[in-house]
Amino acid sequence: MSIPRIHAEGPLSEGVEIALTPAQAHHIGHVMRRAPGAELRAFNATEGEFAAELTALRKDRGAMRLGARLRAPSPEPELRALVAALKREAMDWAVEKATELGATLIQPVLTRRCVADRSNTQRLAGIARAAAEQCERLSVPVVGESRPLHAVLDAWDGAPLLVAAERRDAPPIHTFLNGLRAPCGFLVGPEGGFDRAELDDLARRPFVTLATLGPRILRAETALVAGLGAISFALDVQG
């Protein structure tokens, strides 16, 4: 039986007792079927991961006491995932997989062909946190509020941004991965793709590189996973 992992915001150290959030208490008690005395893990990006014991659980309240530290904190490459707002099911899946692939920021963007006009940031942040707990990350990505694409680009800090441009004549993404360094980002458009004006605006930005993911037209969430997977692997290999 796997040991549940709990992301804890506060300072972590051996012997400290930490309250569970109502969502965590519900998940541990009703989904995982754990009772006081159960073994847990507590983690965050600042202090690492600790052994823990469930000390109290009642409806939507609970607490755990920390034991020895099992993993020290370690740096992660800054990988930003930008994705046009998708329908709920696709967006939820995209956030989960982006978390598993190491995204440190998940930024929903609004484009002309978006089928959704916003994203539920609180729900998506919860999905990202649960995915981090499952995949044994120490950090949880930040999920940004939905913002217009041009506003995100105007505020961009100049880090390399690879853009999936499946309907544009562009080199394959693998030609840009050698030597790529963090921080960097990857942008995927909506189901219907970027419109011509958006692609022209992207192409004019000095930090943007248009790339393709192969000969097939992919669903937006599939393209996000394919691109992030390639970039994440390249960053890990290159240190």
Domain boundary among 21, 43, 71: 71
What CATH number corresponds to the domain at position 19?
2.40.240.20
134 and 174 assigned to the same domain: yes
At 59 the pLDDT is 84
> What does the alpha-carbon distance between residue 108 and residue 138 come to, in Å, rounded to a whole number?
23
Tokens, residue 146: 């939905």
At 168 the pLDDT is 66
57 and 167 assigned to the same domain: no
Residue whose structure tokens are 């609180």: 122
Which stretches of the chain score pLDDT less than 50?
A: none
173 and 126 assigned to the same domain: yes
Give helix then strand counts, H and E, for the chain.
Answer: 6, 12
66 and 88 assigned to the same domain: no
Q: Which domain holds residue 20?
A: 5-71
At 3 the pLDDT is 94
How far, in whole angstroms, is CA 199 from its chain's centroid?
25
* Sign of the torsion angle spanned by Cα atoms 98, 103, 106, 112: negative
203 and 147 assigned to the same domain: yes
Cα torsion 2, 53, 28, 131 to 10°: value is -60
186 and 113 assigned to the same domain: yes
110 and 219 assigned to the same domain: yes
At 238 the pLDDT is 67
What total of structural domains would you count in the chain?
2
45 and 152 assigned to the same domain: no
- pTM value is 0.93
What CATH number corresponds to the domain at position 177?
3.40.1280.10
62 and 14 assigned to the same domain: yes
**Residues 66 and 20: beta-carbon distance below 8 Å:** no
